[in-house]
Structure 1
């Protein structure tokens, strides 16, 4: 049995294009073959979780059934005219529970992740939590079971995003684009896929396969020879090289997912927007892994802020935003994994954004005395790049290997 992991080799793209061809012809003629779309999604998910990965296929089926029960029981509860905060919190906790168990699995003797730790559990959980929260807010009036299943199991994005929103996805799924719109989708989709090849298989290969191991080996040799604490050119090189590899590999993967979505007539949002021209750390998070950062902004940062304001927990708005940033990035750090470097990475970015906000307020207050020109902008970009890359060095876990192993 073939095990077909997404976007890993040319064979995948050949099979993908052949499978999508009837759908492309239909969309070109203004018809969306929903049954064929469902078949293709099932086929690619089946091939993704076949062979030695079959247990993950069973896990994802059980997971989707579990989330369906939570979502539609909560929707039924809301349709009775009830809206208890306790019930809402219980629904959110229940939806998050499988992901939480996977994240804490390394800390317990039993390997929980072997029971429910399938590829893509994080992104599916983000989608289900979003739907539950928006049902409560009434921004989603009702969830259709078939559309919800397609939304959760949309195969181009299931393993690593981007994280779409139910209402946006439903709008695309319920209609077929006009011919002119679809031709634009095909043009963009083709561009994104070829750009993804350049990013992931060429530039990402150079940074991640050719250069990164050599820099890591050299940095480890120098570090071990000097007690692990010496800053070396190899460690600095590793920091920059890892940052570039992380971007080009992940951005390339995301471009494949977005490009494939466009071929299927679904306008999946892009994930990256030139993050290394950011002028400050907040600007960076508006450009880097955007669907994730916007999800955290909308469903953690803003929710906590509104809750704290409503309950008058923190009266000072500046202190409130600072605490919200700390909570937001701490949760993001824990989501990546319960290890010191992920948690420190989250705290690092929270502190960076808090300092940035302090600076922006100071700059606004003293705008007449602080120069603003192309040189200061260039310096801001340079400073932001280095702050971001140092954060990625922490995130990489390489310092853990250098200092503690």
Structure 2
């Protein structure tokens, strides 16, 4: 069989799924009979990881191996040291060391150094880093008593989610991995796996293709031509069209990818959490972040927002709790913006969402104070959904970077 290695990137094309489903058959048979073939699962993951990082991506594969050794050293050093002596500065050092490689990759991606003769980073570095930091923090909290090296390696290298999530939690993953489901439980898993697989095909390869490949380039070209020829009036409508089209593409493409990852996980008897829950019916911006890219937003909430808030309260950095929550939101979304990339539109995207949430909190406090005076009915609920949808779509227009392209197109 002649593999086209370049096309064997995760969930990139329908051909990829043929190889994937064939490789899953032994696992499916084993789990159906109540047996988890851990050795085969490990070989399966390693083979598909090899196919991802083969050919022109081999340097990324080397980086992944080096990175795993580095992160293992940090995690198990902290685990062993903490059992002997619990010092706060060691915890902070472990977290900082864990995120340094990702930070370097983000900086060098934004400001490439031509003199560096090798590839920096690898596919999935962000999501592996998030998992590793999560484990270090939960060891510090005492939620994780001890990390098993083999389970930890499987957790970090879990093939279906390694490149772009969803971001699982170690304790939840270990609970599934340590046992095989019963036959009835696995039949239910298979039903969900097949459903999510076909839903992912619908989202990514049909609806996502229609918005992203068919419509978006035409609207983008029309917007640039209209801007050069007619000024801002006609351009504004093309920008609006681009905003909605890009938002739909972003959702269906990413949600489709996430459904594939969840589907393959269920085939393997692992209940990877869902990433999206009907985000475009959100009634406010907070509701949106409880529905959009949920595993990432919950990770940022639990390990950045909540921890900074508790730290600030403990140190009494802010007397006013409302002001503290506002500062925490801006810190949270600025970090999220920087994580996406060191460009102005990602940073503005983060500031925009932090501002929107702060305004939303002001409105919610106002409603609570004037309870019974502000109408609440189906019309107001639909209006809230409509308003939130448009606020979110405008934020995606910022996120897309298309405004920069328009600006340079006008010059």
Deviations 1:80-128 (A, max 9, x none): 1x12111111110100001000111122535779543211000000000
Q: Please give the alpha-carbon distance, in whole angstroms, between the structure 1 residues aligned to 2:233 and 2:58.
A: 44
**Structure 1 counterpart of 2:86, from 60, 80, 83:** 83
Pairing of 1:55-74 with structure 2 (within 5 A): 55-74=59-78
Partner of 2:130: 126
Q: Please give the alpha-carbon distance, in whole angstroms, between the structure 1 residues aligned to 2:259 and 2:117.
A: 28
Pairing of 1:161-240 with structure 2 (within 5 A): 161-225=165-229, 231-240=235-244
Q: Please give the alpha-carbon distance, in whole angstroms, between the structure 2 residues aligned to 1:315 and 1:62.
A: 45
Q: Please give the alpha-carbon distance, in whole angstroms, between the structure 2 residues aligned to 1:327 and 1:84.
A: 26
Q: Please give the alpha-carbon distance, in whole angstroms, between the structure 2 residues aligned to 1:113 and 1:344.
A: 32
**Structure 1 counterpart of 2:371, from 367, 370, 389:** 367
Q: Please give the alpha-carbon distance, in whole angstroms, between the structure 2 residues aligned to 1:370 and 1:344.
A: 32
Contact 1:228 1:402 in 2 (8 A): no
Partner of 1:10: 14
Structure 2 gap ranges (5+): none
Aligned pairs, number: 404
**Structure 2 counterpart of 1:96, from 83, 94, 99:** 99
Matched, 1:351 2:355: yes
Structure 1 gap ranges (5+): none
Pairing of 1:307-326 with structure 2 (within 5 A): 307-326=311-330
- Residue 388 of structure 2 aligns to a residue whose secondary structure is helix
Deviations 1:227-256 (A, max 9, x none): 679752111000000000000000000000
TM-score, length basis structure 2:
0.96
Deviation (angstroms), 1:224: 2.8
Contact 1:222 1:232 in 2 (8 A): no
Q: Please give the alpha-carbon distance, in whole angstroms, between the structure 1 residues aligned to 2:19 and 2:250.
A: 27
Q: Rate the CA distance shift 1:306–1:230 in 2: closer, same or farther, 3 A.
A: farther
Partner of 1:31: 35
Task: Return structure 1 stretches of 4+ with deviation > 4 angstroms.
Answer: 110-114, 226-231
Q: Please give the alpha-carbon distance, in whole angstroms, between the structure 2 residues aligned to 1:13 and 1:192.
A: 13
**Structure 2 counterpart of 1:304, from 302, 308, 311:** 308
